[in-house]
Amino acid sequence: MATSKNKSRQRFKPSHLYSIISTALVLFVSGILFLLLLNGSKMSDYLKENIAFTLILKDNVTDEGGKKLLAEILIQPFVKSADYISKAQAQEIYIEEFGDDYRDMLEGNPLFSSIDIKMNANYTQPDSVKSIQNKLQTNPAVQEFYYESKLVDLSNNNFKTLSIIIIVLSLLLGFVAYTLIDSTIRLAMYSQRFLLRSMQLVGATNSFIRKPFLLKGLLNGMTSGVIAVVLLTILLNVLLNILPDLKVLQDLNLTILLYLVIIFIGILFTITSSYIVVNKYLRMHLDELY
C-alpha cells in the first residue's frame, strides 16, 4: 500500500520544468501569429504603396508643363512618391524592356509622357482611388489615369481575410494556451495539496499561503515568456537570412512591444492559474484531498 502511495506521489510530483516548457511553446506559437498579424499589416501597406498609378499626359504637354504638374502632385496628401517620365525616357524604357527598336520604321515618338505615382497605403482603398482619379482627370494636361483595379481590390481584400483568420486563430490559441497552462500548473501543484492543508492547520492565512505559489507562478511565467522571445528572435533571424527583403518590413519598436506583451501574457496566465488552483485546494475538505 505504501509503495502504491509513493508511486502515486512520484507520478504527480510537481513538474515546474514541464509547465515552463509547455507554456513557452504556446507563447511561441502565439507570438508567431501576432508577428504575422503585425507584419501582415506592414506587408499589405508595403504592397499597396508599390502599386503603380500612371498619369498619362496629352501629346501636346511639354516637359516643362509635365514637371510643373509633377510639382503640384507631389504636395498632395495621398502621394508617397511620384516621377515624371518624358517622351524620350518612355522611348528608352520601351526599347530596353521589349528589345524592339521601332525608330527605323516610325517617324517621331508615338509614346506619351507620363507621371508614375505611388500612393500612401491609406489612400489605396477602391473608393479613395476612384475619387483621386476623378480629381486628377479634371486637369486639362491629363489624358488618362491608369492603374490595375484588380490589383487594388486584391491587396485590400486579401489582408482583410488574413486578418480575420489570424484573429480567430489567436483567440482559439489563447483559449488552448490558458487551458494547457492551467492543466500543467494543476498537475505541478497536486502533490503539494497536503502542504497547503498543513499550513492552514498551523494558522497561516490564505494570503500568506498563496504568496509563494504566486511568486513561483510569476517566475515561471516570466521564464516561459523569455524562452518564447528567444525562440522568436532565432526564427526571425533565420527568416531574415533566407529572405533579406523582409528587413524592409521589420519594425524594431513593434517587435520589442510584442516581446513585452508575450512575457506579460505568460506572467498573467501563470499567476491567474496559480491563484485559482491554490484557492481550489484551500477550499477543499480534508477527505477531498485524497
Q: Which CATH number covers residue 129?
A: 3.30.70.3040
| pLDDT, mean of residues 225-240 | 90
SS3 55: strand
Residue-level pLDDT at 71: 92
Q: Do 33 and 81 share a domain, yes or no?
A: no
Q: Do 95 and 168 share a domain, yes or no?
A: no
* Beta-bridge partners for 83: 116
Q: Do 276 and 215 share a domain, yes or no?
A: yes
* Distance between CA atoms of residues 151 and 48, nearest Å: 9
* Beta-bridge partners for 115: 55, 84
What would the pLDDT profile of 241-273 be if each residue is shown by its tens digit? 887 766 766 777 888 888 999 999 888 888 888
| 5 — pLDDT class (breaks 50, 70, 90) | very low
Reply yes or no on whether the pLDDT at 201 is more than 90: no
Q: Do 226 and 177 share a domain, yes or no?
A: yes
Reply yes or no on whether the pLDDT at 168 is more than 60: yes
245-275: burial string, b at 16+ Cβ within 10 Å, e else: eeeebeeeeebeebbeebbebbbbbbbbbbe
| pLDDT, mean of residues 50-75 | 89
| pLDDT, mean of residues 97-118 | 73
Residue-level pLDDT at 2: 45
> What single-letter amino acid sits at 190?
Y
Provide the mean pLDDT of the chain: 78
15/199: higher pLDDT: 199
Q: Do 131 and 113 share a domain, yes or no?
A: yes
From 147, 163, 180, give the residue that closes a domain.
147
Give the chain's domain count.
2
pTM above 0.75, yes or no: no
Q: Do 32 and 96 share a domain, yes or no?
A: no
Q: Do 98 and 204 share a domain, yes or no?
A: no
Residue-level pLDDT at 272: 84
- Alpha helices by DSSP H, listed for the chain, are 2-11, 16-48, 63-74, 87-98, 126-136, 149-190, 193-201, 206-242, 252-283
Residue-level pLDDT at 188: 63
Q: Do 253 and 274 share a domain, yes or no?
A: yes
Q: Report the share of the chain in percent with pLDDT over 70.
A: 79
Strands of the 79-85 sheet, one edge to the other: 79-85, 114-119, 53-57, 142-146
53/197: higher pLDDT: 53
Residue-level pLDDT at 44: 76
> How many residues comprise the chain?
290
Q: Do 66 and 180 share a domain, yes or no?
A: no
Cell of 185: 500548473
SS3 208: helix
From 129, 147, 165, give the residue that closes a domain.
147
SS3 82: strand
Residue-level pLDDT at 124: 87
Nearest CA-CA partner of 87 in 95, 77, 76, 78: 95
Residue-level pLDDT at 26: 81
| pLDDT, mean of residues 12-31 | 74
- Structural domain boundaries enclosing 249: 2-46+155-289
Cell of 9: 506521489
Q: Do 23 and 134 share a domain, yes or no?
A: no
Residue-level pLDDT at 4: 42
| pLDDT, mean of residues 204-219 | 82
Residue-level pLDDT at 8: 41
Most confident of 88-102, 111-125, 192-206: 111-125
Residue-level pLDDT at 15: 57
256-262 long-range contacts, CB within 8 A, separation 24+: 258/31, 258/34, 258/35, 258/38, 259/229, 259/232, 261/34, 262/27, 262/30, 262/31, 262/34, 262/225, 262/228, 262/229, 262/232
Q: Do 159 and 274 share a domain, yes or no?
A: yes
Q: Do 117 and 178 share a domain, yes or no?
A: no
* Distance between CA atoms of residues 79 and 94, nearest Å: 25
What would the pLDDT profile of 25-46 be if each residue is shown by its tens digit? 888 888 887 887 777 777 778 8
| 288 — pLDDT class (breaks 50, 70, 90) | low
| 181 — pLDDT class (breaks 50, 70, 90) | low
From 147, 167, 198, give the residue that closes a domain.
147
What would the pLDDT profile of 133-156 be if each residue is shown by its tens digit? 898 888 888 888 988 877 777 777
| 22 — pLDDT class (breaks 50, 70, 90) | confident
- Contact by Cβ (8 Å): 71, 284: no
